Every structure is written in C-alpha cells, then in structure tokens.
Amino acid sequence: MKFSLEHKSAVVTGGGSGIGKAICLAFAEQGAMVHILELQVEHANETVKAIEIMGGRAAAYKCDVSNGNEVRKAFENIAAKDQIDILVNNAGIAHVGNLEQTAEADLDRLYKVNIKGVYNCMQACVAYMKSKGGVVINMASIASTVGIVDRFAYSMTKGAVLTMTYSVAKDYLAHGIRCNSISPGRVHTPFVDGFISKNYPGKEKEMFDKLSKSQPIGRMGRPEEVANLALYLCSDEASFITGTDFPIDGGFIKLNG
C-alpha cells in the first residue's frame, strides 16, 4: 500500500481541530500510532475518539508547546512507550493587523507559540530521531514568502518557521532526518468561520465568498487536502525530499499577479 505509515509513530501538535485534526485522521488511517499534543486536551480527546472509531490508534496529551518543560516531559512520556518517527508542528495562532496595529504583547504572544513552540518540539524530538532517522513537517504559510495585508506578526513568525525548516534539514542530513514545510493558502477551518462571524456579523456569506474567491482556484482549501500532502511527505515514497517548502494555495503565490 502506497503512503503506508504502518509500524510508525507520529507526534502532531494542535491536533484537536482543523488541519491538525485532519492530519491525525489521515495518519491513523494509514496505520500510524498518533500522539496528539494539544493545549485544549478535550479537543484532542475528540480526535482520539474519532480515530478509535475508525479502528486506528491515538493518544492525547495536554501540552503548551510554548513551555519547554512541558514539551520535554511530553516527549519523554511518549518515548518511554513508543518510538518517534514523525513530528508535525501544526500548532499555531494568528493575529490580524499591520505594524502599527501590532502591540508588543501581540508580537510576544505569537512568537511564543509559532516560533518558540516549533523550536521546543523540534529540539525535544531530534534527540530521539538522531539514531534512526525520522521526518519533521513544519506548518508554514504562504505568508512565509509573500506579503499578506494586515498579517505583520503572523508573517514574521511563519517566515521564521520556513528558515528553521531549512536549517534543521541541513544540520541533520547525516542523521537521516528529513525536514520539510507546508505553506497553505486560505483553508476552510473552524478558525476561518470564527474570524468571519466575529469581524463581519451579518455578512458571513458575503465575506466567505469574497475570501474564497481571493484564491485563484476559486475556493478555499480543505483540511483534508493539506493532510494528504503531509501524509505523502511523511511516507517512504517521499524519502528523497528534504529542505523544501510546499505551497498548497490554490495558485495564490504564483497566479495572483
């Protein structure tokens, strides 16, 4: 079976909803044991239940990825009972605003989760991968490489995710660790629905259609489509791929000129 993850164990951060949940379901369907690190552990438990209903295997761990001690303890707990073959750094938060609309507290908040959180998880993980190899996927964004209106702090963090990906890929080649990133465009998740309802009350459908049409392909992406790309990159079929960013954006980066 192509893209099989049988006999492999994956750690996915932010797997309680949206893209992270879709990745957990896709990995479990292909045979992986999925360990979910999630601040809102009740949401991770819902993902675990969905995986178990389909006959897969998963476990949930309450963890704040911005807290290095919590991350190290979570990985120690996982490594004590399972190998760690795959890490997907999916947990992240957003902020809307340009430079002047970004307070120092906003910058610090995004840094802690989107940059430090990725750093914490990769540092904890590579110690367990160095002896046998592994795969790391970091969730970047189209904002890593192109300018997005009113996304100053978010773009800053996702640019850092991209360059951390390149650095880790280069530094751990000899250890058999592959490291790539995925850069989604606008994907229809509960976050998008919440953002629209909060900022455009009474105009939800109008704004949803407008945001959908901002993608050249004419619609938003689906979490499952991002999950399928992550599945490929973590499978043995992608064993010749490392140090690369993969846009999945409906043509946004190249066709929006």
Burial of 154 (0-12, 13-18, 19+ CB in 10 A): buried
Distances (CA, A) of 184 to 8, 46, 142: 25, 24, 6
Q: Are strands 245-248 and 177-184 parallel, antiparallel or unpaired?
A: parallel
Q: For residue 111, give the 3-state DSSP assignment.
A: helix
Query: Using CA of residue 36, residue 39, residue 42, residue 46, what is the dihedral sign?
Result: negative
- Helices of type H across 30-151: 41-53, 68-79, 104-110, 116-129
Show the beta-strand stretches assigned E in the chain. 9-13, 33-38, 57-62, 86-89, 134-139, 177-184, 245-248
**Residue the block writes with tokens 């750690």:** 11
Given 111, 154, 166, 232, which residue is catalytic?
154
232 as an active site residue: the answer is no
Rounded Cα gap, residues 140 and 174, in angstroms: 24
Q: Element (H or E) spanning 171, and its range?
A: helix 152-171
252: Cβ–Cβ under 8 A, 6 or more apart, which residues? 142, 146, 185, 186, 214, 215, 216
Annotated catalytic sites, by residue? 154
